[in-house]
Structure 1
């Protein structure tokens, strides 16, 4: 039962939990900056979502490290830059004013090629590539809530890695809508559609995880 409750807390907006801002629970980035909390949270369309009930699992972190390392080395002499969580990505709709931004996420890994989107607080605007690694209880948030805001905000490419199943599905933005790939698994090599020349060998990613 405790595991089920933990999953619900991650997947669903936090209710009855109002740090600051409007009573009723619609928040913006200005509110987010004022909070002093021990846990990591994200804002998705004004609603607060817990990142997780605890630190990410070891396998999650091992996969994240492998993928980040490959991207970092590939981009060392490249205009694009790669960042890993915790790293705030603000996705504005109305304007870039803190009070108008209602979505602030912390992707596991993201690549930004337009350096004008980078500031001391993170990224404001859609990254070119976002990679999320599923954790127990996070599936709905990654597969539905984040999928929607990434598509609406113009994130060019979105990869979802499933550690338990050792699979990856990618989404490429075409005329404002995501087009899904086939399901990739160990032995496949992914070719990024937005980071020209970058390939990821999934046999390397999923090797020696136990």
Structure 2
């Protein structure tokens, strides 16, 4: 069973320059030279992403830790992704531009959907690790679970899976507590 994410299959290896020329009103990501059409999120997906954003943003602003953003182009070498929610630490805010992010966020949250789950777990996971993302959360709206991965020396270290009865914390953001019952309500 292959990835269910629609790719624009022309046999061509796409570049950042090709990506920048796109102007058809669709959302794309560029990974390994493949142009990937990203479907618009469903309402449940967006509500969960918004709740993660609100929780992270409130904590980060209150503690002057950096910036939380989402659904904005993130340029990683010759690849472009748009994570659902992400955090960039204060000391790295130089990567945040007006139009996009030029480098890896510190924390990425991807809300899985049926069409992107395998893609988020495999290709994006490798891309994020290779480019220096420190923490990666995969939120599954259907199972109401969050899987937490932390960058190790050579690969992701699996921290665990948390459900709606848990309070999600982060070594990257000490003091952060997210009630997953509120996220998945």
Q: TM-score, normalised by structure 1?
A: 0.81
Q: Does the 8 Å CA contact 1:154/1:176 hold for their aligned counterparts?
A: no
Q: Secondary structure of 2:156's match? A: strand
Alpha-carbon spacing, 1:28–1:193, altered in 2? closer, same or farther (3 Å): farther
Deviations 1:113-166 (A, max 9, x none): 111111122111110000000112111110111011011111000000000010
> Does residue 70 of the first structure (1) align with residue 48 of the second (2)?
no
Q: Does the 8 Å CA contact 1:190/1:202 hold for their aligned counterparts?
A: yes
Aligned to 1:84, which of 70, 86, 94? Answer: 70
Question: How much has 1:193 moved relative to structure 2?
Answer: 2.1
Question: How much has 1:173 moved relative to structure 2?
Answer: 0.3
Q: CA RMSD in A?
A: 1.8
Aligned to 2:145: 167
Q: TM-score, normalised by structure 2?
A: 0.92
Aligned length in residues: 182
Q: Secondary structure of 2:20's match? A: helix
Question: How much has 1:75 moved relative to structure 2?
Answer: 1.4
CA distance in 1, matches of 2:65, 2:141: 30
Question: How much has 1:176 moved relative to structure 2?
Answer: 3.8
Gaps of 5+ in 2: none
CA distance in 2, matches of 1:38, 1:123: 20
158-167 or 113-122: bigger deviation = 113-122
Larger Rg: 1
CA distance in 1, matches of 2:24, 2:66: 32
Aligned to 1:35: 22
Deviations 1:70-115 (A, max 9, x none): 1111111413100011x010112xxxxxxxx2x1000000101111
Aligned to 1:96: none
CA distance in 2, matches of 1:177, 1:135: 24
